[in-house]
Amino acid sequence: MSNKILVAGAGGFIGGHLVAELLKRGHKDIRAVDIKPFDEWYQHFPQVENLQFDLQLKDVCEQSAKGVAEVYNLAADMGGMGFIELNRGLCMLSVLINTHLLMAARDAGAKRFFYSSSACVYNAEKQTDPGVTGLREEDAYPAMPEDGYGWEKLFSERMCRHFMEDFGLTTRVARFHNVYGPNGTYDGGREKAPAAICRKVITAKLTGKHEIEIWGTGEQTRSFMYIDDCITGIDKIFRSENVTFPINLGSAEKVSINQLVDMVEDIAGIKLKRHYKLDAPKGVNGRNSDNTLIKKTLHWEPDTSLRAGMEKTYAWIYDQIKGK
């Protein structure tokens, strides 16, 4: 029986960390696929089968899934709020990736399929208050997700469910809450808040221009999950027998964007004058992960403190910028 593993989106931030972890655990038969040229992959491992493919195409997904036992779908056209609010059509086209991968996995006889969903599936009416309580899994319905990106994620969740029910393909779905850490995007427009704030603070420190632009009022709240917790959570969810439904994978440590800036300033040993860009994309006013279900089913939750994760992230981004 084949034990080949397909990692779709392997050239991305989370996909690169996942391939690294699979190698660390002794998996050797890995097929890594991403649309980006190899020199743009965040992590590249020559000992695995690396393919530069556009997974929106059905025949490409069939070729990628040939002979595989397990599929991790982390591939999507996405980024931070600045990207997804301005590229809704592009984000929705990612539905082709999951649709064609599900079909290819089914036809190839794969045993398990993982889909990376997002907290952007949650009903916007439950995220209007910065003091929001944690979002529970059932809060995705009645449906009113983030326009574009969130709708694509919610639809793809349903496809995973029905492929399991109709075709017997074991699917697992995790709703990621703002993953951050080293070896990821920190500039160019697709970066998320932790990396963007690190970059801005580092640039201010290195240039001596002690100012920072913050999108929105800075009072909007989020939780942020360190990449190591994300990879651990993916494995636990993927291997579980009882998590047959979409489940939160995120930290329950809620902070405002202003508090996050405070933290990065403290790490950098600097204070900056703040300018608030009130017309910039900022997403919902409040979002946090309710981890009741993951603790109940897996007896675990992401537990890396935001401070510890941000210190590592800041150090990595500092080295990247300093080395340019």
What residues are annotated to the active site?
A: 149
Question: What residues contact 138, with CB distance under 8 A and at least 6 apart?
Answer: none
Phi, psi dihedral angles at 200 (to 5 degrees): -65, -40
Phi, psi dihedral angles at 254 (to 5 degrees): -85, 135
Name the residue with tokens 């946090």: 288
CA–chain centroid gap for 219, Å, is 23
Where on the phi/psi map is residue 90: left (φ > 0), alpha (ψ -120 to 50), or beta?
alpha
For 7, 64, 231, 251, the CA distances from 72, given in Å and listed in that order, are: 5, 12, 12, 22
- Paired tokens of 53: 């493919």
- Paired tokens of 286: 């409040």
- Strands 4-8 and 68-73: what pairing? parallel
